[in-house]
Amino acid sequence: MADAYFSLFTLIVLIPLALIAFLYFLVRPRPVKIPIKNRHVFITGGSSGIGLALAHHAAAQGSRVSILARSRNKLEEARNAVRLATGIDVSVFAADVRDYDAVKRAVDEAGPIDVLLLNHGVFVALELEKQELSEVKFTLDVNLMGSFNLIKAALPAMRTRKDPQQPVSIALVSSQAGQVGIYGYAAYSASKFGLRGLAEALQQEVIADNIHVSLIFPPDTDTPGFAEENKRKPELTKIIASSSGAMKPEEVAQKTFDGIKSGSFIIPCNLEGIALSLATAGLSPQRSFLMATVEVLAAGILRIAGLCFQWTWYTSIEKWHNQRKAFVELMISTSSRFTSKELKHFELGPCFRRLVADIAT
């Protein structure tokens, strides 16, 4: 009986403790705290949405804030909004992130940066076959190459800063679509997945300079552009993405700075994001031995959960195509004519209705 109790004690207590102790010494880079008060936070895409919320939050925390965006008018509106809310005056810079020379001038004028927060981005949900290659290139140029441009412009001064003992940060705002590919997101997901490769490689390059890289993975966020994006989303994209709720920009900003200040490499923003981050941890850096323990213990069950999600998504895709095919065959075989009023009786999305209407005419 004593042997049975000892075996149970070993299984429940000693092995987990040994794992935690092992991971405590194993995780790299080591934990770090990055202050933002009285430090220069430079935010791209800072004139609206998440970027503006980040600017509000940083100013309220006592940071010196600079924001960069393309539109001078929107930048002035953002500056006035931050001043009105916090009493802090932020610096604004108008530049296109695709233009390295313009970005370099803005960064040099802004002065040494302690937290480079790359929040800029464009998003169009559309099947690749229907998307113009110029639109794909635009997405990649803004979301991915724009980040290269900003980092390339800011990195030399960050490396040669006056106090190298003070940690500094480069944070890139990705997306949950940068953790898992979704129907209609081919170009967008490619640009956001690319940020992860950039971040992982860059962290190894700059860790010796006490520069710490973070990746933020927000879900759909209730921004001015979100409603406009939804108008163009394919029906299947809406079906698959419907399980993920939208967050407020202020909530994303809070999670972002909490993660930056703790030096986290991966920063999820909600419970679904935590699950995605655990499921896709892979070979990414992990500073927290406790989170590393969770990643190790949860890997198997999260893989099962991931397969369940994939089953749900592919079942939805199959059902959607079968429904579409059935209605096309019905229209062809019966040569029926439906009015728009009659179409409302069918449980169809807008694209199905357009398809049936086209065949009917």
Question: Between 289-334 and 350-360, two packed helices, what is the crossing angle to 10 degrees?
Answer: 20
290 compared with 15, residue with greater pLDDT: 290
**Residue 275's pLDDT is what?**
94
**Residue 199's pLDDT is what?**
98
254 compared with 24, residue with greater pLDDT: 254
Q: Is the pLDDT of residue 165 over 90?
A: yes
Q: Is the pLDDT of residue 324 over 90?
A: no
CA-angle at 56, arms to 148 and 146, nearest 5° = 10
Structural contact between residues 36 and 10, judged by C-beta atoms closer than 8 angstroms: no
* Residue 11: band (very low, low, confident or very high) from pLDDT cuts 50, 70, 90: low
* Residue 230: band (very low, low, confident or very high) from pLDDT cuts 50, 70, 90: confident
Q: Catalytic residues, which ones? A: 174, 188, 192
What pLDDT, in 10s, does the model give residues 118-149? 999 999 899 999 999 999 999 999 999 999 99
* Residue 347: band (very low, low, confident or very high) from pLDDT cuts 50, 70, 90: very low
Q: Is the pLDDT of residue 204 over 90?
A: yes
Burial code of 183-219, b = ≥16 C-beta within 10 A, e = fewer?
A: bbbbbbbbbbbbbbebbbebbeebeeebbbbbbbbbb
**Residue 358's pLDDT is what?**
47
Q: Is the pLDDT of residue 287 over 80?
A: yes
**Residue 359's pLDDT is what?**
47
Structural contact between residues 37 and 7, judged by C-beta atoms closer than 8 angstroms: no
Domains detected in the chain:
40-287 (3.40.50.720), 307-360 (no CATH)
Q: Which stretches within 96-220 are classed as H helix?
A: 100-110, 133-140, 146-159, 186-206
**Residue 231's pLDDT is what?**
76
Q: Is the pTM of this model over 0.85?
A: yes
Q: Is the pLDDT of residue 326 over 90?
A: no
> Which range among 29-43, 154-168, 328-342 shows the weakest confidence by mean pLDDT?
328-342
Burial code of 294-323, b = ≥16 C-beta within 10 A, e = fewer?
A: bbbeeeeebeeeeeeeeeebeeeeeebeee
What pLDDT, in 10s, does the model give residues 26-58? 999 999 999 999 999 999 999 999 999 999 999
